[in-house]
Amino acid sequence: MNTLLIAEHNNETLADATVKAVTAAAQMGGECHVLVAGSGCAAVADQAAKLEGVAKVLLADDAQYEKQLAEPMAALVVAMADGYATIASPASTNGKNFMPRIAALLDCSQISDITAVIDANTFERPIYAGNAIQTVKVTEAKKAVTIRATAFQAAGDGGSAGVEAAGAADNPGLSEFVNEELTKSDRPELTSAKVVVSGGRGMQSGENFPMLEKVADKLGAAVGASRAAVDAGFVPNDYQVGQTGKVVAPELYIAVGISGAIQHLAGMKDSKVIVAINKDEEAPIFQVADYGLVADLFTAVPELEEELGKAGL
Amino acid sequence: MKILVPVKRVVDYNVKIRVKPDQTGVDLANVKMSMNPFCEIAVEEAVRLQEAGTATEIIVVSVGPAQAQETIRTALAMGADRGILVKTDDELEPLGIAKVLKAVVEAESPDLVILGKQAIDGDNNQTGQMLAALLGWSQGTFASELGIEGDKINVTREIDGGLQSVKLAMPAIITTDLRLNEPRYASLPNIMKAKKKPIDEKELAEYGVDAAPRLEIVKVAEPAEREAGVKVETVGELVDKLKNEAGVI
């Protein structure tokens, strides 16, 4: 039985999370059909069609889908859900918003934030902020799934799926987009960056974050923060890495002035290599760090920038 | 305006949980239980709307064991007016809970339902959206700011790239994110007063809803442990190891 994967995108570019979610969908058996719902988003459909493992792309190009609001998205997906065993999407804030609405309208269960596909109906997912891993089996014919993209490899190129137009459904007319304030940055996006440099309460103020940004620029890294740093007002909430923020799994994660609360570890402990810089040698972050440096960050971080320069970065 | 706030009793957020050795679940024996933090934010927001003169009545509902009454009392001490406990010892799934809540909404006819975006035990993040679907209502999830304007509600939402504002038709479902507010601590006089506020106890069966679990939990296991690595003495050594040992820069 086939999977309908709802793409995450910004109407121009297919999000990296979707490219990884295709890998998860392929492991569920059957064909993977990607739904690109948006406005003026034909280019996104073409990008999805080139992914390995995608059998068909459905393009619902209509003004009402521009921001993927839950009410019209659910109406659209429910109308086309026949014949699919699985309705899936990345576990982005969009996916988390519309998917349970779709599941309830289809009267099926949802498995949130899966990190592994055991078989077509059995999945692993973290519970209690990643302090336990639950294996869940669906025994019914239909299910909704959101996929933690960082747990899967990106699907390769080399596909050549056809793109079909999908008609729009009636808009329930319950919600209206007003505006958006997106954080502008030239750095890579947190959840898809290969390197992440994060600051915690030890940074002392938002004015000290440019110090991390210089290191990040040397490494082509994204900049993140702990919840403590966000709550203290150093940086906006969308910097937050952790249970209540973003989950990242880069090749290299550098935690600066972060003590390592469970809350934060839940968002980054699947990183390949973890570096911790903290002046408190008892800080729990050192228990998960591959390389720990006990030092005052205000001397260590500028030095790190300099050493990276010397190393040719 | 009448507001319904569903709340959940969960393991306190400060508790380091243990997985049962037989891998059937998480050990809840003798563990401190509290109101789910996101639910506290929901109660606080409702109380603030009442203090601002927008809300006229706040009803708190919990679906769970008899002890969930304590969770309802906490909400009453924060300022809610009355409670409803739908008793069940089964662990209902989000869709089952949403079906029970739908029945409660139909009986109480609130204008707004405010819930936590997720419970910190199952981390599902589903119930509010499912309830909105079953009722055919609008949904404002992950809210960091609310503003009521006639029969519409403006909701600022925390999204991956920043913030998004939407205007929703009421009645509506709102789910709370962390920055919506900072919940108050109940004062002693309010805790005493809360003891006299009514809690209506219902049996799940009274609602005639099929909320039976539909998923099979195969097992619950400990996550893979990450081992602590090495301490380096200098920044130079760190850069050398990242380059030559780990090969990540």
Q: What is the pLDDT of residues A81-124, one digit of tens each?
A: 999 999 999 999 999 999 999 999 999 999 999 999 999 999 99
Q: What is the pLDDT of residue B13?
A: 86
d(CA B159, CA A97): 10
User: Best of B18, B153, B219, B242 to disrupt the A interface by mutation (most A CBs within 10 Å)?
Assistant: B242
Q: What is the pLDDT of residue A258?
A: 98
Q: What is the pLDDT of residue A253?
A: 98
Q: What is the pLDDT of residue A189?
A: 86
What is the per-residue pLDDT across A121-177, written as a single tens digit (0 to 9) for each?
999 999 998 889 999 999 999 999 999 999 999 999 999 999 999 999 999 999 999
Residue of B79, B73, B83 whose CA lies nearest to B56: B79
Instruction: Please say if the pLDDT value at position A191 is more than 90.
Output: no
Instruction: Please say if the pLDDT value at position A260 is more than 90.
Output: yes
Secondary structure element (H or E) that encloses residue A276, with its range = strand A273-278
The tokens for B226 are: 């990450």
* Cβ–Cβ < 8 Å for A127, A96: no
Q: What is the pLDDT of residue A263?
A: 85
In the sheet that holds A162-165, the strands lie side by side as A109-114, A143-147, A84-90, A2-6, A32-38, A54-61, A162-165
Q: What is the pLDDT of residue A183?
A: 82
Which of A183 and B196 is assigned the larger pLDDT?
Answer: B196
CB contact under 8 Å between B215 and A109, yes or no, is yes
* Burial grade of B95 (CB within 10 A; 0-12, 13-18, 19 or more): buried
CB contact under 8 Å between B133 and A74, yes or no, is yes
Q: What is the pLDDT of residue B220?
A: 98
* Cβ–Cβ < 8 Å for B1, B55: yes
Q: Model ipTM?
A: 0.95
d(CA B98, CA A260): 35
Say whether A72 sits in a helix, a strand or coil: helix
Segment A292-303 mean pLDDT = 97
* Cβ–Cβ < 8 Å for B58, B46: yes
Say whether A1 sits in a helix, a strand or coil: coil
* Among chain A residues, CA nearest to B123: A127
pLDDT band at A268 (very low <50, low <70, confident <90, very high): very high
Minimal Cβ distance to B229: which of A139, A181, A291: A291
CB contact under 8 Å between A292 and B232, yes or no, is yes
* Cβ–Cβ < 8 Å for B45, B66: no
Q: Which residues pair with B48 in a beta bridge?
A: none
Residue of A259, A248, A244, A254 whose CA lies nearest to A200: A259
How do B2-6 and B57-64 pair as beta strands? parallel
Q: What is the pLDDT of residue B225?
A: 83
B166 touches chain A (CB under 8 A): yes
**Percent over 70 (pLDDT), chain A:** 100
Residue of A172, A168, A11, A10 whose CA lies nearest to A79: A168
Segment A243-258 mean pLDDT = 93
Which DSSP letter does residue A57 get? E
Q: What is the pLDDT of residue A262?
A: 86
Query: How confident is the prediction for chain A on average, in pLDDT?
Result: 96
CA–CA min distance A133, chain B (Å): 5
Segment B199-204 mean pLDDT = 97
Residue type, A179: N
Segment A181-198 mean pLDDT = 90
CB contact under 8 Å between A139 and B242, yes or no, is no
Say whether A51 sits in a helix, a strand or coil: strand
Least confident piece of the model among A237-251, A270-284, B32-46, B169-183:
A237-251
Minimal Cβ distance to B242: which of A69, A74, A252: A252
* Cβ–Cβ < 8 Å for B178, B63: no
CB contact under 8 Å between B160 and A177, yes or no, is no
What is the per-residue pLDDT across B138-194, written as a single tens digit (0 to 9) for each?
999 999 999 999 999 999 999 988 899 999 999 999 999 988 999 999 999 999 999
Segment A57-80 mean pLDDT = 98
CB contact under 8 Å between B19 and A132, yes or no, is yes
Instruction: Please say if the pLDDT value at position B236 is more than 90.
Output: yes
Segment A214-223 mean pLDDT = 96
Segment B18-31 mean pLDDT = 96
Segment B114-134 mean pLDDT = 97
Q: What is the pLDDT of residue A55?
A: 98
Say whether A302 sits in a helix, a strand or coil: helix
Query: Any alpha helices (H) in chain B, and if so which ranges?
Result: 37-51, 68-78, 94-108, 127-135, 188-194, 235-244
Question: How distant, in Å, are the alpha carbons of A142, A200, A264 from that of A242?
Answer: 31, 12, 4
* Cβ–Cβ < 8 Å for A143, A25: no
B98 touches chain A (CB under 8 A): yes
Question: How distant, in Å, are the alpha carbons of A175, B142, B169 from that of B154?
Answer: 10, 13, 9
B68-80 b/e (C-beta count within 10 Å ≥ 16 → b): bbebbbbbbbbbb
d(CA B21, CA B51): 48
pLDDT band at A291 (very low <50, low <70, confident <90, very high): very high
